[in-house]
Chains A and B, each alone.
Chain A
Amino acid sequence: MADYQQMWTDLGMDLEKHDVLCEVLPEAFGGVYLTQQDRPKGMDFYDFVVSEIHGVRPAEMIQHQKEGGKVFGTFCVYVPDEVVFAAGGIAAGLCGGSQFWVAGGEKVLPANTCPLIKASVGARLDKTCPFFLIPDMYVGETTCDGKKKAWEILAGEVPFHIIDIPQKKRDRDIAAFAAEIQDFIGVVEKVTGNQITAESLGEAIKLINNKRRALQRVYNARKASPVPISGKDALLVTQINFYDDPARAAQMANNLADELEDRISRQAGVFPDNALRIMISGTPMAIPNWKMHHIIESLGAAVVVEESCTGTRYFENLVDESATTLDGQIQALAERYMKTNCACFTPNTARIDDIVRLADEYKVDGIIDTNLQFCNLYSTESYLIKQALTERNLPIMHIETDYSEQDFEQLRTRVEAFLEMLRK
Chain B
Amino acid sequence: MVVIGVDIGSVATKGILISDGIQHKTIFPTGWSPRDTSEAVIAQLLHLSGMERQRVTRIFGTGYGRVAFDQADKTITEIKCHARGIAELLPEVRTIIDIGGQDSKVIRLGERGQVVDFAMNDKCAAGTGRFLQVMATTLGLDVSDLGSAEDPAQRLAISSMCTVFAESEIIGLMAKGNPKSGIVAGLHQSVGKRVAAMAKRLGIQEPIAFTGGVAINQGVKRALEEELGSSVMVSEVCQYTGALGAALLALENV
Question: Chain A interface (Cβ within 8 Å of chain B)?
Answer: 407, 409-410, 413-414, 416-417, 420-421, 424
Given contacts A417-B115, A417-B118, A424-B114, contact A410 B103 (CB under 8 A): yes
Contact of B106 with A by CB under 8 A? no
Is B123 a contact of A409 with CB atoms below 8 Å?
Answer: no
Bound complex: CA A421 to CA B119 (Å) = 13
Question: Chain B interface (Cβ within 8 Å of chain A)?
Answer: 64, 67, 76-80, 103, 114-118, 120, 122-123
Known: A413-B64, A414-B118, A414-B122. 19 other contacts (CB 8 A): A407-B122, A407-B123, A409-B64, A409-B67, A410-B122, A413-B79, A413-B120, A413-B122, A414-B120, A417-B77, A417-B78, A417-B80, A417-B115, A420-B77, A420-B115, A421-B80, A421-B115, A421-B117, A424-B114
Is A410 a contact of B123 with CB atoms below 8 Å?
Answer: yes
Name, among B64, B77, B115, the residue most crowded by chain A CB atoms within 10 Å (CB to CB): B77
Bound complex: CA A273 to CA B12 (Å) = 39
Is B120 a contact of A410 with CB atoms below 8 Å?
Answer: yes
Bound complex: CA A414 to CA B123 (Å) = 12
Q: How far is the CB of B67 from chain A (nearest CB, A)?
A: 7
Is A416 a contact of B77 with CB atoms below 8 Å?
Answer: yes
Q: At the interface, is chain A mostly helix, strand, loop or mixed?
A: helix
Q: How far is the CB of A193 from chain B (nearest CB, A)?
A: 51
Q: How far is the CB of A23 from chain B (nearest CB, A)?
A: 27
List, in ascending order, chain B residues with CB within 8 A of A417's CB.
77-80, 115, 118
Bound complex: CA A424 to CA B113 (Å) = 11
Is B123 a contact of A420 with CB atoms below 8 Å?
Answer: no
Bound complex: CA A114 to CA B205 (Å) = 35
8 contacts between A and B (CB under 8 A): A407-B123, A409-B67, A413-B77, A413-B120, A417-B79, A420-B79, A420-B80, A421-B117
Nearest chain B residue, comparing its CB with the CB of A411: B122
List, in ascending order, chain A residues with CB within 8 A of B115's CB.
417, 420-421
Nearest chain B residue, comparing its CB with the CB of A398: B119
Bound complex: CA A407 to CA B122 (Å) = 8
Bound complex: CA A417 to CA B96 (Å) = 15
Bound complex: CA A421 to CA B112 (Å) = 13
List, in ascending order, chain B residues with CB within 8 A of A424's CB.
114
List, in ascending order, chain B residues with CB within 8 A of A410's CB.
103, 120, 122-123
List, in ascending order, chain B residues with CB within 8 A of A420's CB.
76-77, 79-80, 115
Q: How far is the CB of A380 from chain B (nearest CB, A)?
A: 13
Bound complex: CA A413 to CA B117 (Å) = 14
Bound complex: CA A404 to CA B205 (Å) = 35
Give 10 nearest A-B pairs by CB, closest first.
Answer: A417-B79, A410-B122, A417-B77, A420-B80, A421-B115, A416-B77, A413-B77, A414-B120, A420-B77, A407-B123
Bound complex: CA A424 to CA B78 (Å) = 15
Q: How far is the CB of B134 from chain A (nearest CB, A)?
A: 19
Bound complex: CA A416 to CA B118 (Å) = 12
Q: How far is the CB of A8 from chain B (nearest CB, A)?
A: 37
List, in ascending order, chain A residues with CB within 8 A of B67's CB.
409
Q: How far is the CB of A112 from chain B (nearest CB, A)?
A: 14
Nearest chain A residue, comparing its CB with the CB of B66: A413
List, in ascending order, chain B residues with CB within 8 A of A416's CB.
77
Bound complex: CA A420 to CA B79 (Å) = 9
List, in ascending order, chain A residues with CB within 8 A of B117's CB.
421
Q: How far is the CB of A106 from chain B (nearest CB, A)?
A: 18
Bound complex: CA A409 to CA B123 (Å) = 11
Bound complex: CA A333 to CA B223 (Å) = 58
List, in ascending order, chain A residues with CB within 8 A of B80's CB.
417, 420-421
Q: How far is the CB of A358 from chain B (nearest CB, A)?
A: 22
List, in ascending order, chain B residues with CB within 8 A of A414's CB.
118, 120, 122
Bound complex: CA A413 to CA B115 (Å) = 14
Bound complex: CA A407 to CA B116 (Å) = 23
Is B78 a contact of A413 with CB atoms below 8 Å?
Answer: yes
Q: How far is the CB of B63 from chain A (nearest CB, A)?
A: 9
Bound complex: CA A420 to CA B115 (Å) = 9
Nearest chain A residue, comparing its CB with the CB of B118: A417
Name, among A407, A409, A410, the residue most crowded by chain B CB atoms within 10 Å (CB to CB): A410
Bound complex: CA A407 to CA B103 (Å) = 12
Q: How far is the CB of A303 from chain B (nearest CB, A)?
A: 19
Indicate which residue in B78, B103, B116 contacts A421 across the interface (CB closer than 8 Å): B116
